[in-house]
Amino acid sequence: MRLIQFESTSGQRQVGVVDGDAVRTVRGVASTRELALAAIRAGRSLQSEVDSRGSDAGPAYAELQHGGRILPPLDHQDPAHCLISGTGLTHLGSASTRDKMHQQKGQDEATLTDTMRIFRWGLEGGKPGAGKVGAQPEWFYKGDGSIVVRPGADLPLPAFAEDGGEEPELVGLYVIGDDGKPYRLGYALGNEFSDHVLERRNYLYLAHSKLRACAYGPELRVGALPAHLAGFSRIHRGGEVIWEKEFLSGEENMCHSLENLEFHHFKYQQFLRPGDVHVHYFGTATLSYADGIQAQPGDTFEIEMSEFGAPLRNGLVAADEPLQPGSVTAL
C-alpha cells in the first residue's frame, strides 16, 4: 500500500491510497499522522486501519501532481514537533564519494580520517543481528518541519550557501505513540539536499552543511522493504538531463541494518515525546557533486525508484538572505 497526503480543491487536507492512475480518499481522516495514531490506539496495523475506515473514489493522481496539491506524506500541524535528521556513511559505496576517505581506504587504523574510521566501524559492526546493539553511525540534525518542501516545489538555495546538491535517499517516517514508543509508518524517497562544498572543506562543517531544506515523498510505502533497491537520480537543466546515475539502497547495499540505525536515533529520551513526528534520512552513496556537477538555480532534481511509485521532483531556486550581520537586537 502507498499513501499520499493532498489538498482538495477547497484546500482541505486529505489522505489518499494510490491506486494506479487514481487516488482513493480514506474516510474520516485528514492526515497520515492522525491515521497512524488511530492505528496505534486500536492496536492494529496502518493497512488494517485504512481497511477499517474504507475509501472513496478521489481525484486523478496526475491532477494532484500538476496542480501542486500533493503534500509530504507525513508531517505535523505544528512544524516544531516534526524532527528531521539523518545518518551518513551507511552505504557500502559511501566512502568512495569522498576523495580523501577513498584514498585512505587501505591504511591502518591509526592513520585513518575520522570519517573513514566511522565507515569502517559500520562495515565491521553495523549489522549486529536482531535485538542487539551495533556500531553507532554518523548522525546529524537538519531542522524541524519548517524546512520541508512539498513534492514538486522548489528547494531554496540560501545566499550564503556554497553549494546546493541533491542526496537521493531512503527515508523512514515515524510517529511517537501515547506510550512514548516509536512507530514506523513506512518509507519514502527523499532528497536530503546539502552543501557539499562546505562539508568537504572541513568535516567539522558537516553540521552546518546539513542545515538546509529537504523534500521527501510523494508517496509513503507501507510494509516491508526489499533488501535490494535500485533507482535513478537525475538533474534536469534547460530541458535536458545533464546528469543521471543509478543509486542503490536497501540493507543488501548498506553497512548498517535499518534496525541498528533506528535504535541509535530513538535511544535518546528527548526523541520519544508522544505525538511527535520523525523523518529520518538513511544516507546515500551517490552524489552528482562527486562527479564534478554543481547544481544551480533553475535546475530540477528527480529521484525515482519503482518501489515507491511516482518520482520525487523539486526545482532549485535562489533564496534571499534572511539576516544581515549586526541584526541581532539586545534587549
Instruction: Give the model's confidence band at 206: pLDDT under 50 very low, under 70 low, under 90 confident, else very high.
Output: very high
Q: Are residues 45 and 114 in the same domain?
A: no
Q: What percentage of the chain carries pLDDT values higher than 70?
A: 95
Q: Are residues 54 and 104 in the same domain?
A: no
- Does residue 323 lie in a domain region? no
3: pLDDT strictly greater than 70: yes
> What pLDDT, on the 0 to 100 scale, is given for residue 7?
98
Q: Are residues 195 and 260 in the same domain?
A: yes
Q: Are residues 65 and 82 in the same domain?
A: no
- Does residue 330 lie in a domain region? no
Question: SS3 for the chain, per residue?
Answer: CEEEEEECCCCCEEEEEEECCEEEEECCCCCHHHHHHHHHHHCCCHHHHHHHHCEEEEEEHHHHHHCCCEECCCCCCCHHHEEEEEEECCECCHHHHCHHHHHCCCCCHHHCCHHHHHHHHHHHHCCCCCCCCCCCCEEEEEEEHHHEECCCCEEEECCCCCCCECCEEEEEEEEECCCCCEEEEEEEEEECCECHHHHHHCHHHHHHHCCCCEEECCCEECCCCCCCEEEEEEEEECCEEEEEEEEEECHHHECCCHHHHHHHHHCCHHHCCCCCEEEEECCCCCCCHHHCCCCCCCCEEEEECHHHCCCEEEEEEECCCCCCCCCCCCC
110: pLDDT strictly greater than 70: no
Q: Are residues 5 and 134 in the same domain?
A: no
- Does residue 326 lie in a domain region? no
* pLDDT averaged over every residue in the chain: 94
Instruction: Give the model's confidence band at 100: pLDDT under 50 very low, under 70 low, under 90 confident, else very high.
Output: very low
Q: Are residues 39 and 179 in the same domain?
A: no
- Does residue 331 lie in a domain region? no
Q: Are residues 67 and 88 in the same domain?
A: no
Q: Are residues 273 and 308 in the same domain?
A: yes
Which residues form the domain of 32? 1-71
Instruction: Give the model's confidence band at 99: pLDDT under 50 very low, under 70 low, under 90 confident, else very high.
Output: very low
- Does residue 177 lie in a domain region? yes
Higher-scoring residue by pLDDT: 137, 321: 137
- Read off the pLDDT of residues 209-256 as tens digits, 9 standing for 90 and up: 999 999 999 999 999 999 999 999 999 999 999 999 999 999 999 999
Of 32, 47, 71, the one marking the end of a domain is 71
Number of structural domains in the chain: 2
Residue 243, domain CATH = 3.90.850.10
Q: Are residues 56 and 143 in the same domain?
A: no
Q: Are residues 101 and 166 in the same domain?
A: yes
- Does residue 328 lie in a domain region? no
